[in-house]
Each structure stands twice: as C-alpha cells, then as structure tokens.
A and B are shown apart, each in its own frame.
Chain A
C-alpha cells in the first residue's frame, strides 16, 4: 500500500488536504462503479443459476450467452413510462426508492475489499453496517405506504415487522465475532481471524454464522423470506405501484443489500481477502494472487448460496417467519454469545489467545 500512501503527499503545488479529498472521491467512484457493475451482473447470474436449476438455459438471446442482458434491462427500465398513482403521497413516493438505495450504497463506505482498500476505516465499522442495513427498510416501508394501494401497504406492513424481528438476531449473531476479535473495526476483525483454524471465524463461530445467514436472507427480503413482495399473494408487494426507473432503483437496492450482507459474511466469518493458511501451505504460489480476487470469489459463493436457497425452498408462512426469528434464532445467538464469552475468558486465563 506504499504507492497509495505516496499519492497523498503534496505535489504540483496542490495542498495535501485537496489530494486527500480527491483520493477519497476517486476511491468512492471506483467502489460505486465496481459494485453497480456487480449488481447488474448479479441479476444475470441469478437468472442463469435459477435457470440451470430448473433445467432451463436462462437468458441466451442478448449477446453471447445472454451476457448483455443486464445492460438491455437497464436501458429498457430507463426508457419505460414512469407511472405515479393519483392518490400517492408524491414526495415520499419519489423519495422511497432513493432512500433505500442510498442506505445500501453508504454501507459500502466501510467495507474493506482488500487489505488497506476501504473508503472510511472507522472504529465502529460493523455498527455502521448495522445502522445502514436497518435504514434500508425505510425504502420498503415508505414506498409501500406512499403508493396508497392495498397490496403495497400489506407488503410494507410485513416488511416492517420482519425487519424489526430479524435485525435482533442479525446483530446478536455478530457479537460472537466482535468478542473474538475484540474490535469493531472490520480490517482488524479480518486480521484477527488469521490466528484461528482455517484463517476463518466460521470454524469457531459456526452457530453465529448459521444465525447470520438466515437473518441476512430475511433482512434483505430474499426468498424464502420474501414475504414483503410475495408475488402469489401481493402481486409484487411494496413496489406494486412502481414502474420504470423507480422500480429499477428498488431492484438495485435489493441486490446491493445482498452484496453488502454477503461481504459482511465474507469479512466476519470467511476470512475476508485472505487465503486459508493450509491452502497456502499446499500451493504456495497462490500467495501472489491479489486479495480482491479471493474476496470476490468468496462473495460470489455467498451470492450463489442466496440463489440456491431461493430456487430450493418454498416461502415461509408469516407466523412461521416470526416463530423462526424469535423462538429459534434469538435464543441460538444468545447461547452463542454466552459460550463464546465464557470460552474466551477461560482460554484467556490459561494463556492461549
């Protein structure tokens, strides 16, 4: 990272703070551009994976193997007619999709994609991610409310109850990781994982990882917990009344949310940008591969898991959703916290970290 730091020193007579600001803006542009491209191709990936799982080919027409499909979709939704319901609460109707996408995108500020590359390396990185993921629901709720339609309304009602319920296990499941790493800074959490078997927290925190995965799926409103947008019951749930680019914004927010949740899973449980040490021991030449490659590979494994679950499981009923959240996941995550804390104190006294 010495080259990156060297960029920040004063040159060409421009003061250093201006360099720093410019450097941050470039970083933001790189991250946003990269992530939006991944969001576009995550939709393609999803359609391909689910197509294959259902014995179909998925998109094949636009470009070779349908590779230009996301771009065609983007252009189509951009030029579609933008319909606004007469009785909609217009300012909130306009604001809702933007709010959802904004919350999802601002989480990217604290995600370290590889060693040293993070827009804001703050001490409370993980808490910031929680805060932003809890704000993502405002887009859903306000969109559903402002549409002034029964289907949207029911969808957003479900969304608000679901997100409140699942935010609790989502937060609690990561407390085990926080206890083990002793920090909320995501870079430090990744670095702390190298001391544990496999270079990942998933070995020691498998219970926390299980709770995290289930509640992350529920938090991003993905199948089998996609009750806010249950097609068979509610047409499209909270975004029934949205069309054109506004609908696309909701879509982008959902996929960005998935990428964020997957990157939290990668960073907190799967070792982030590092390779497992035993792999490096067998194949030492893999050490030259940059960290971003491992990060993206792990990210896509997580995203594939999302799609796999979606094409495998049917949707849960509403009372089942609540029962899983409150009666299974929260007690499990609390047990995980107690076990982790007790073990940490015991091991700390016997001397091993």
Chain B
C-alpha cells in the first residue's frame, strides 16, 4: 500500500515537472523544474533500493549537467526569449518527431519480455550493499560494454577539444 502511494507521488510529480520544464517561457525556470524532476527520479531510484544510482543521479545530473546548462544559458543571456512569441515556426515537424519517438517506445514496451532472475536478488543486494553489487557486476561481467562506453566518452572529449581549439598546430 505505502509502496504504491510513494510510487504514485513520484510518478505524478515527474510527469508534472517534465511538463512544467518544457512549457516555461523563461529558460532558467525550465531548468529549475528539471532540477526538481531529477530529484524525484533520484527518489524513485532510492525506492528501488538503488542508493548508489540515486546518489550518482544527483551528483551527475543535478550537480554537474544542470550547472553546465545554467552556465550556457547565462553565457547566451537569452533575455529576448521572454519577448518573442514563438521560436520554432514548424511545429508540425516537432509533433511528427515526438509521435515517432512515442511509437518506438510503445513498440519496445510491447515486445519486452521478462528474463530469468539473476544472482543479485533483493536479499543479496541488501547484504552486500548496492554500491558493491554494481561495482562487482560492472567490472567483471559487463567489463567489455563498460570499456566500450568509456571509449565512446573519450572520443567525445577529444572531439570537444578539437572543436574548441581554433587552430591546431
């Protein structure tokens, strides 16, 4: 019962905050609603006994990425967005793209099937703590995908440096 109440609260707030984030005139207000949204997602993770993921969610998204967003917004100094009536002229295009994404999500939801349970049940995770569980699985079983992901990030960092450097000597 109390689980459902909590989940209901988080779900409703997450949906409401994401709507608020995309409908605000002032970009900075949108960013702040997104901050609240991240907190509730972290709460949802905490609710799933995933304390490590929830802390990382706050540190990375709320602490780093949103600050970066704010930094960019301040550098651009978008004060005319309040005056302008409409930014994007071709809204049917946006609708088409979002409906397409929705279709993809629905199709993937229809084809999902629940696999067999792994070694890490709730009891094991509670005994070993979730941080240990994630670390162990990530660095043994999923080491190769993990390394691939970090390589992709490395490529992105190098790309950013190349773009930021005006002259390469």
* Chain A residues close to B by CB (< 8 Å): 89, 92, 122-124, 127-128, 130-131, 134-135, 137-138, 141-142, 145, 153, 156-157, 160-161, 163-164, 167, 171, 184
Chain B interface mostly:
helix
Considering only residues 21-43 of chain B, those with a C-beta below 8 Å from chain A are 26, 28-29, 32, 35
Q: Nearest Cβ in chain B — how far from A340, in angstroms?
A: 16
* Chain B residues close to A by CB (< 8 Å): 26, 28-29, 32, 35, 51-52, 55-56, 58-59, 62-64, 67-68, 70-71, 74-75, 129-131
Q: Nearest Cβ in chain A — how far from B154, in angstroms?
A: 14
Q: List 21 A-B contacts (CB under 8 A).
A: A92-B28, A92-B29, A122-B51, A123-B131, A124-B52, A127-B55, A127-B56, A131-B62, A134-B59, A134-B62, A135-B58, A135-B62, A135-B63, A141-B74, A142-B28, A157-B71, A160-B67, A160-B71, A167-B64, A171-B59, A184-B131
Please indicate the chain A residues that have their CB under 8 angstroms from the CB of B64 in the complex: 134, 164, 167
Task: Indicate which residue in B28, B51, B68, B70 contacts A123 across the interface (CB closer than 8 Å).
Answer: B51
Complex Cα gap A131–B59 (Å): 5
CB <8 Å contact, A124 and B58: no
Please indicate the chain B residues that have their CB under 8 angstroms from the CB of A184 in the complex: 131
CB <8 Å contact, A164 and B68: yes
Complex Cα gap A135–B67 (Å): 9
Complex Cα gap A160–B70 (Å): 8
Complex Cα gap A131–B56 (Å): 8
Task: Indicate which residue in B26, B51, B70 contacts A124 across the interface (CB closer than 8 Å).
Answer: B51
Complex Cα gap A131–B64 (Å): 10
Complex Cα gap A160–B75 (Å): 11
Please indicate the chain B residues that have their CB under 8 angstroms from the CB of A153 in the complex: 74
Complex Cα gap A334–B164 (Å): 24
Q: Nearest Cβ in chain B — how far from A49, in angstroms?
A: 31
